[in-house]
Chains A and B, each alone.
Chain A
Amino acid sequence: MKIFLNKSLIAWYFILPVLLIHLFVIAIPSISSLALSLTDFRGMGKLNYIGFENFNELFDDRYFVKAVYHNIIWTIAFLTIPVFVALVCAYLLTGIKRGQLFFRLAFFFPYMLASVVNCQIWKYLFSPIYGIGTVLSSFGLDLLTTSPFTTKEYSLFAVAFVDGWHFWGFLVVIYLTGMYQVDSSLYEAADIEGASKYQKFRYITLPMIRPVLVFTIMIITIWSIPVFDYVFILTKGGPAYSSEVIGTYMYSQAFERFNVGYSSAIGTMMFFYVLIIVGLFGVLRRLGWEV
């Protein structure tokens, strides 16, 4: 009996429940996914080992390649526009006292809302029957006469816009926290030197918040790959694959066509991508980048 009450063992009993549910829900299925990606399993019947054939097939699958390309565009879009806008707004917020709380809450608010609700809002606003388009056309402007979600040229950008609209306030709060940790004597010194608003931002704020900035760049790079909700709800990857991303493509392979092996190969590739990005930032930290 005594051996089971050994202090170190008791400490492990406390951790056991978390590990157990995590093992069942995430670890075991993930490892199964690694194994299934090397098979031609289709949900039932026989399961054959086919080596890396699924992966070879993926590189020849033009819809998958298209989805990867869309994810790259998505990542670049998120790394630039929301980051830039959030940096500017956070910086401007540090300069005001009155109303700062209001702006912070206003920017952050869409981040709290469900993807389903945010998509509903923008589907309505972009709809040619009810939305902004009808108001514009009453002023004689024929913009948005068709919904960008159903237009091949714009669908991907329209979806990314809605996701970015909901996400950028999150960045504002993170950057703002970082900016308040900057030593204010640096700004006082710059004021004495007669530095402009832009110069202070460029030469004091930006270098001082670099760790926070790098952190957000890392999470955007990671989060841009498994995006699913906004694409699935707004366009389901359409029209004609024009907004298909890896997440929705994998979902249709898995749950519409039941290509278990093939979709596991897609999931496996996403996992290795994340691992590489996390590893990359880990290496940068080791190299003394203070990230």
Chain B
Amino acid sequence: MEVASFRKKELISNYIILGIFAIVSLAPILVLIFNAFKPAVEFGTNPIGLPNNITFQNFPDAWVQGEYSKIFFNSFKLVFGTLILCISVSSLAGFSLAKLNPKGANLVAIYLLVGISIPAQMFLLPLFLLWKNLGLLNTHIGLIIIYSALNAPFATFLIRSYMIRLPDELFDAAKIDGANIFQQFFRVAIPLSWPVLLTSALVVGLAVWNEFLFALTFVQDENLKPISTILFAFSWRFINNQALVSAASIMMVAPVVILFLLFQKRFISGLTSGGLKG
């Protein structure tokens, strides 16, 4: 669909301007990709161009030197742990707010909205002290609980706004067939809501994968750190070997790129519809 129709001559200038911004967006990332395939000796003579000699050796080197098999396992554990906890509590709450309309549901919505806007710095330190006393520092479950709480309001609203459009007749029919509320939730609401569950899972998973501040604060044990804080340390450790650092960065980005290309519409609509998560 064309909104503002442009004349032919204008079209060319449109493409030129947009092209320049596309280069600004993508060229830095391309340099990173080039560098990941360059031998370390080439950086002195060819810092930002295409590699003259393509090598794949940087990837296994970075993988071994950074112990990335352990790191990937840590990050996957955090992502899937958060998805299980966050999406289940959010779909329960989303279902209730959409279909059961308990008294005071508005208060819950307001509470969660206020919760979203609280800056992390407000509760970071007391949370740290609380987690220390509960023995949750330097544990994955501690971080999973934090990530679930941070992302649950967004997921709850997203799921609620989808479930609210499911026709009530479906639930009435299930009720007549003798389904109680839990069965209505598991057999009717959840199977019909898979698109929104997938969107929420992608957005929440991305947030956890990329998260830095809480990972930095709550996990100091090198063996338990996720990929974001490890890459931060790795980039300082190997500051003189940019080939390794670039390869390590690409390893962090690769899963995101693959999922993004598969589910770009979902990612974009999920991330912008929330509009409330950084």
Q: Which of A72-80, A151-159, A224-232 contacts B (4 or more CB under 8 A)?
A: A224-232
Chain A hits for B264, CB < 8 A: 105
- Known A27-B115, A95-B5, A197-B4; judge A130-B43 contact (CB<8 A): yes
- Known A14-B92, A96-B14, A112-B267; judge A26-B102 contact (CB<8 A): no
Contact with B along A43-63 (1 / 0, CB 8 A): 100000000000000000000
- Please determine whether A94 and B125 come into contact, CB atoms closer than 8 angstroms: no
Chain B: CB-nearest residue to A247: B121
Asked if A174 is an interface residue, CB under 8 A from chain B, the answer is yes
Q: Which of B52-60, B62-70, B142-150, B166-174 contacts A (4 or more CB under 8 A)?
A: B142-150
- Please determine whether B26 and A106 come into contact, CB atoms closer than 8 angstroms: yes
Q: How many interface residues does B have (CB within 8 Å)?
A: 95
CB distance from A104 to the nearest CB of B (A): 8
Give the CA-CA distance A123 to B102 in the complex, in Å.
52
Contact with B along A108-126 (1 / 0, CB 8 A): 1111111111001111110
CB distance from A95 to the nearest CB of B (A): 4
- Please determine whether B253 and A114 come into contact, CB atoms closer than 8 angstroms: yes
Give the CA-CA distance A43 to B117 in the complex, in Å.
26
Asked if A271 is an interface residue, CB under 8 A from chain B, the answer is yes
Give the CA-CA distance A111 to B267 in the complex, in Å.
11
- The B82-114 residues at the A interface (CB cut-off 8 A) are 85, 88-90, 92-93, 95-97, 100-103, 105, 108, 111-112
- The B15-62 residues at the A interface (CB cut-off 8 A) are 15, 17-18, 21-22, 24-26, 28-29, 31-32, 35, 43, 47-48
Chain A hits for B130, CB < 8 A: 24, 28-29, 32
- Please determine whether B232 and A116 come into contact, CB atoms closer than 8 angstroms: yes
Chain A: CB-nearest residue to B6: A95
Asked if B176 is an interface residue, CB under 8 A from chain A, the answer is no
Chain B hits for A278, CB < 8 A: 117
- Known A114-B228, A130-B242; judge A108-B117 contact (CB<8 A): no
Q: Which size bracket describes the interface of A in this complex? A: 35 or more
Chain A hits for B14, CB < 8 A: 92, 95-96
Give the CA-CA distance A264 to B245 in the complex, in Å.
36
Contact with A along B178-213 (1 / 0, CB 8 A): 000100010000000000000000000010011011
Give the CA-CA distance A184 to B29 in the complex, in Å.
36
Chain A: CB-nearest residue to B146: A25
Asked if B252 is an interface residue, CB under 8 A from chain A, the answer is yes
Asked if B262 is an interface residue, CB under 8 A from chain A, the answer is no
Asked if A254 is an interface residue, CB under 8 A from chain B, the answer is yes
Chain A hits for B111, CB < 8 A: 19, 22
Asked if B135 is an interface residue, CB under 8 A from chain A, the answer is no
Interface of B is mostly: helix
Chain A: CB-nearest residue to B89: A17
- Please determine whether B108 and A19 come into contact, CB atoms closer than 8 angstroms: yes
- Known A17-B92, A26-B149, A274-B118; judge A117-B253 contact (CB<8 A): yes
Interface of A is mostly: helix
Contact with B along A79-113 (1 / 0, CB 8 A): 00000010011011111110100111111111111
Q: A89-B21, A112-B206 are in contact. List 19 more A-B contacts (CB 8 A).
A: A10-B100, A14-B100, A18-B156, A22-B153, A25-B146, A36-B126, A95-B3, A103-B22, A106-B25, A116-B252, A117-B249, A121-B28, A124-B35, A134-B47, A201-B4, A205-B4, A229-B213, A267-B119, A278-B117
10 contacts between A and B (CB under 8 A): A8-B100, A29-B123, A33-B126, A112-B206, A116-B229, A125-B31, A132-B48, A201-B4, A232-B212, A270-B119
Residues of chain A at the chain B interface (Cβ within 8 Å): 7-8, 10-12, 14-15, 17-19, 21-22, 24-30, 32-33, 36, 43, 85, 88-89, 91-97, 99, 102-117, 120-125, 130-132, 134-135, 165, 169-170, 173-174, 177, 179-180, 182, 184, 187, 191, 197, 200-201, 205, 215, 219, 222-223, 225-226, 228-229, 232-233, 246-247, 250-251, 254-255, 260, 263-264, 266-268, 270-271, 274-275, 278
